Structure 1
């Protein structure tokens, strides 16, 4: 077996010999865990550089909150938030991902230096997205998605969450490939927290090996999400605030790395960067 232990590689991105760490910069006033902290362009660029210094291999820049119940931001505002931050980070040599559901934002972010398009809708939200990504020739994250944030909770209905997520992701992958995106540039994401309850998220994490059957590198984005709050809730059922879930996030990162995830997406990098390196050291020792 290769040193990559079955994680796979993504054409157009660096190759890492362990699970990669994707740091998050939310250029938003309303994200669920850090809304408003990095809303200013200068602050957001500084934050991204700080995450890279702490061990982030990629930095994911987003200008639209996708927390449950969130309303959409308009296109011009999303462009204003995202493009200068992407340009600032890319100019410093950071490998940048753009987190967007809009083709126009993806196109302008790639022109500004983004190396990866991370679309939580997998190209479903904007029919122009897949053709735009195909034309740009950049890697693309296809996430499991059942609809926009304002109605996602009502769609969290499954008989067999693993089988259904697999089937829906496979169908979306096929559509994206048919739309012109090269298979070797695809990454898949099970969409933890998107149209899923805590038990669904935990079941998916317990079955990451089945998700690897899709044959493409796997991104796991669990950072600070509601299911971790559910796991960590105190005796009366109250979850800790999102920013107090970073140790639990690092635990998930270690588990995902052991299950050969290609990358994990996190808000606080240092603990996860340590976790994936420990997981890699254990792999080497086997």
Structure 2
């Protein structure tokens, strides 16, 4: 599962000045610009969404910025701080603002077969491949969190990781709460969230009882109640303990595996 890339010239959007929801400061390019001292001009901000859901894909967004020319973009926040309407409004603006942008996905089946970390790597490298396919080659990556799950895993057999045609070979730098502080990463979170939410709304039309148009595959009480009554769909991560072991104890086929999140 993957998506198309969009490439565009850097925008001259006006700076973001207003504080974010909850009183937090708006993300800036201040941290990204520290990479200029290393001779880096094109930096890829990366963030994931859907990691903790019970159903649907895990999705990874990439937003590339030009550290020599990029201007801030007003209104962008970590996607969790934005309403659905705000995310939908910002999505095309972020894609035009970015030098290049892409979202990659790994399906529930891939999560079950590979594990969540390898599935994140697969989704991220699908997005990375799209970025490279647009002719843009970022010189470094800024990844939200403390663990570099994007780079090729070391010391694993071929049976323990997916085979990727393209892998991220740029230096990857991690930063805790980068989605709250760094504009490139917040932008990546917006496009990833919008694209995944649209996918879950589409899947909702196939399995409307689970409420994916509202819960987007996450473990709400209503989602758990339907899962308890009707069992998992092909889009559920059946290797996980979806109801804390309830379904396994009830002998539902395909749910014997351990939790992986």
The reply to whether TM is greater than 0.5 is: no
User: Would you tell me which structure has more helix in proportion to its own residues?
Assistant: 1
Higher relative contact order (CA 8 A, sep 6+): 2
Indicate the structure (1 or 2) with the bigger Cα radius of gyration. 2
TM-score range, shorter chain: under 0.3
